[in-house]
Structure 1
C-alpha cells in the first residue's frame, strides 16, 4: 500500500492502528506526510507483523533452481520499514538457498537522513534500499544509486509498465525498480450513485462522467437535490491528488517551474471549490477517515491499498462501494521501489532479490500471496492473477478494474527535489483554498512562489 511527502506528518486515525506495522509513513506524491501508501501490503492477503532490526531471511529451500545464478552465496543488507513477506522470501530462498537477507529497520521518512549521515560519517551503506514514493525525489537527487538498466544489472524494462520508466529514471538512467502496485481509480458509494445518477454500474458511470467539467456539473445537481447535505468529495486534497497525477507535464524541468502546468491544476481546484461540491475536511484526520462509513460524500480517490487499509476499517458495511476509471484516467498514488547504492558490497545478491520479487512471474505470484501486487507486467495478462474482490465492493472484480482498465489509462511523471518543496507549499495553499472563498488562482500562485523562493532560491519561473 502507500504513501509521503511535503505535508506535515499526520498520524492515521486510531481505527488503523492495528495495521501500523504495515502502514509506514508515506503517501503518494507528497513529501513527509503520513498515510498508508508506504506499505507494500496492497493485495488480498497482506501480512502483518513488525520489522525487526537485523532479521535474516536465511534457511535453505527445498531445492535450488538450475543455472549458475542459483549457486551465488552470501548475505545482502536491506534497509526497509516493511515486515518480511514470508511467501516471497521462502520462494526466493528456494531458488537461491545460499543467499541470505539481513533486514535493518528504517522508517520510510528517515531513509534520506540516514543515508546522508551514513555518507557523511564514512559509514557503510546497505546493499539495497527500500524507497517510499514521497522520499523518492530526495533520494534520487543524492546521485548515489546505480543505473539498473546498465551492466551488470541490465534490467529488462519491457517487463515493467510503460509509465514506470520515466518515474524511476534520472537523466535516462533507471535507478530503482518499483515494488508494490499503487495505481489509483475512483471509488463511489453505490446507493448514493443510484439515487443521484440513476445507476451504480461502474461502466455506466464511466460513460456518464466523460470529463471533470461534466463531473462538476453533476456535482452541482447533487448539492441542489440534497439541499447541500451530499457532496462529491470530502476534501480538496483528494481532488488535488487526482489532478496532479493526471497533469500532462512535469511541474519542473530542472529548476524551472512549469507555470502553465501548475496554473492548470490550481484553476481546476478553484473551480471545484467554487462549485460547492467538495467539503473542507483535511486528509488523514479522524473526520476524513470516518467519512468513508457515512453517506455525505459520493466519491473517493482509490489507490490499490485503499480498500484494505482505509475504506475497509472505516466502513463495516459490505457491498456499498464500486470502483471506476476516473475522468482523465488513472494515476499513481503511493508505492515503493528498491535501489542499489553505488559501491554496494553485495550488489549482485541484492539485484537477485529485486529481480526475483519485482520482475518475475514466480515473484509476482509469491508477492500476491503476501498481499503485494508487483509491477511485473506479464502477470496481469492472466485473468486469474488479476481476479481480486473485497467485501466493501461486493462481487466486483476490483483487481481487473485496477490492473486492466485503470492501469491502461495511467500515467506517471518524473519528479525532482523541487517537487518536494512544491508539495509543502501546496499543502498550505490547499487549506487556504478550502476555507477561504476569496482566495483564488492569483493569490495561490503568489503564495506558492513566496514559499518556493524561501525554500529553494534557485527555482525560476
Structure 2
C-alpha cells in the first residue's frame, strides 16, 4: 500500500503523511503540475501519492537529486487511498492540477487500463517495453492495455503475513514463537480460536485484532477470483470465497475479538503505540506503517509469522504519468529509477515494502528486520509472494472492497446484523458503480 498501500497499500502505506479529503484537491505540491526554472534549466517534478510508498523515508529522492542535480522532487500524500482516488478522478476529468507522477493502487489499475487509458501516457514511448522481464508477469501485465500500451510501472506487491505483539501474547499466557504460532493458526478457525483464548487473559484495553475489516481484506487476498471473474463479470454476491471471508469477519466481531478501529482513522493510528490489539493481518507494506505509528517504543515487541489459510496478496501499486503532466520525459526517468531492482531492494530493507521486481526479490531473500524481533522478512514474504495466487482484477475492485469493509464496520461498531450489513454493502456497491 502502499494501503493503504494499503492498503493499503494501502499502502499500503504509511509513515508520516498528510490527510487530504476529496474537497482538498489542491492539497500539497501534488495539486499542480511540475514547474521549471527556464533560466537555470532546473525542473521540479511533482509526485502525488497515497499512504506511504517509502521513497522519502528511505532517502531515495535525496539520492536521485544527487545523481540529477537539475531535478527537484516534491511529494504530496493523502493517507486514505479512497480520498486520494476521488480527488484524482476530479482532476483527471478537469485536466488540471495533476502531478507529473501519480500513484495508482492495484485495485484501481484495471480502471486505468480499461476506462481511463486516454488520461495516461503510454510509457513504451520512453522505453518501458524493455523492462518487462524485470517484473513478475502478473504485476507487469495488469498495467498493460489490450492494445499493448504500458500505463504504469509496478512498485511493490503485498504478500501477506501475520504481525503480532509478543509482549501482549506473553501477558495473556500464549506462546510467542513464530513457528509454533503458524502451526496453531494454520487455519482461520485456528486463528479465531486462539483469539478467544487471548481474550480470557488479555491485558486491559487490548483486543485480539485491530478490526474485522483488516481480517476480511487479508482473507480475500488469498483468493484468485474475488469480485470479478476472468470475463469481467461482477460475481462478488455469489462468490463463496467472499462469503467465507465475510462470515469469518462477522464471527470475529460477534466474539468480541476486535478493537473496533477503522483502519487509517486517527484512533487506529494511536492504537499502535497504546497496545490496543495483539495481532494484525499485515501485507509487507504494512511494516513501515507499524513502525511509523508504534515508534521506537514498539521495536522488539512485534514479530511476524506465516499467515493462516495459505499465501495471499493485499495491495501493491503503480507509478503512472498523466498526459497532462508538464515534465513527462523527466517523470518517466524518475519512475524507471524508483522501480529498478536496486531501489526496490533498498526500499524493502529500509521500509519493508516488498518488491515486484524479480531481481530485487532474489536480492532480499536473506533480509531480517530487527524492529520485528529479527523476523526473517525476506523469507516470510518471499515465500508468500511465490505462493500467492495471480488475482483477477476488475474495474471496480477497490470500490466493491470498500463497501464491504464499510458494512463490516457497521457490524463491529454498531451491532448491525450480518444480513442487514450485507444488504447495505450491496446497496453501496450499486450506488458506487451503477
Question: TM-score of the superposition, structure 1-length normalised?
Answer: 0.69
Note the C-alpha offset of 1:237.
1.7
Residues 175 and 264 of structure 1, relative CA distance in 2, 3 Å threshold:
farther
Cα distance in structure 1, aligned partners of 2:69 and 2:275 = 54
Q: Where does residue 250 of structure 1 map in the other structure?
A: 226
Q: Where does residue 115 of structure 1 map in the other structure?
A: 92
Which residues of 2 match residues 55-454 of structure 1 at below 5 A?
78-81=46-49, 88-89=60-61, 92=64, 100=71, 103=74, 108-109=84-85, 110-118=87-95, 128-132=101-105, 136=109, 139-140=112-113, 141-143=115-117, 144-146=119-121, 148=123, 152-165=127-140, 167-171=142-146, 174-180=150-156, 182-194=158-170, 198-224=174-200, 231-253=207-229, 254=232, 256-258=234-236, 259-260=238-239, 261-294=241-274, 297-311=277-291, 313-314=293-294, 316-341=297-322, 347-361=328-342, 363-364=343-344, 371=351, 373=353, 374-382=355-363, 386-390=367-371, 393-394=372-373, 396-401=374-379, 403-411=381-389, 413-435=391-413, 439-440=417-418, 442-454=419-431
Note the C-alpha offset of 1:401.
4.6
Q: Where does residue 27 of structure 1 map in the other structure?
A: 6
Note the C-alpha offset of 1:202.
1.2
Residues 439 and 412 of structure 1, relative CA distance in 2, 3 Å threshold:
farther
Cα RMSD (Å): 4.3
Return 5+ residue gaps in structure 1 as ranges. Answer: 5-25, 43-49, 59-72
Residues 166 and 206 of structure 1, relative CA distance in 2, 3 Å threshold:
farther
Partner-residue secondary structure (3-state), 1:246: coil
Partner-residue secondary structure (3-state), 2:208: coil
Partner-residue secondary structure (3-state), 2:104: strand
Note the C-alpha offset of 1:428.
3.4
Q: Is the contact made by 1:38 and 1:133 (CA closer than 8 Å) also made in structure 2? A: no
Return 5+ residue gaps in structure 2 as ranges. Answer: 18-27, 79-83
Residues 256 and 285 of structure 1, relative CA distance in 2, 3 Å threshold:
closer
Partner-residue secondary structure (3-state), 2:3: coil
Q: Is the contact made by 1:340 and 1:347 (CA closer than 8 Å) also made in structure 2? A: yes
Residues 372 and 428 of structure 1, relative CA distance in 2, 3 Å threshold:
closer
Q: Is the contact made by 2:284 and 2:352 (CA closer than 8 Å) also made in structure 1? A: no
The superposition leaves residues 110-150 of structure 1 with CA deviations (integer Å, 9 ceiling, x where unpaired) of 333222211xxxx6976643335576555443123345578
Residues 314 and 354 of structure 1, relative CA distance in 2, 3 Å threshold:
closer
Of residues 158-167 and 316-325 in structure 1, the stretch that sits farther from structure 2 once superposed is 158-167
Cα distance in structure 1, aligned partners of 2:346 and 2:70 = 18
Partner-residue secondary structure (3-state), 2:396: helix
Partner-residue secondary structure (3-state), 1:199: coil
Q: Is the contact made by 2:367 and 2:377 (CA closer than 8 Å) also made in structure 1? A: yes
Residues 206 and 347 of structure 1, relative CA distance in 2, 3 Å threshold:
same
Cα distance in structure 2, aligned partners of 1:169 and 1:199 = 46
Q: Is the contact made by 1:131 and 1:336 (CA closer than 8 Å) also made in structure 2? A: yes
Residues 349 and 282 of structure 1, relative CA distance in 2, 3 Å threshold:
closer
Aligned length: 401
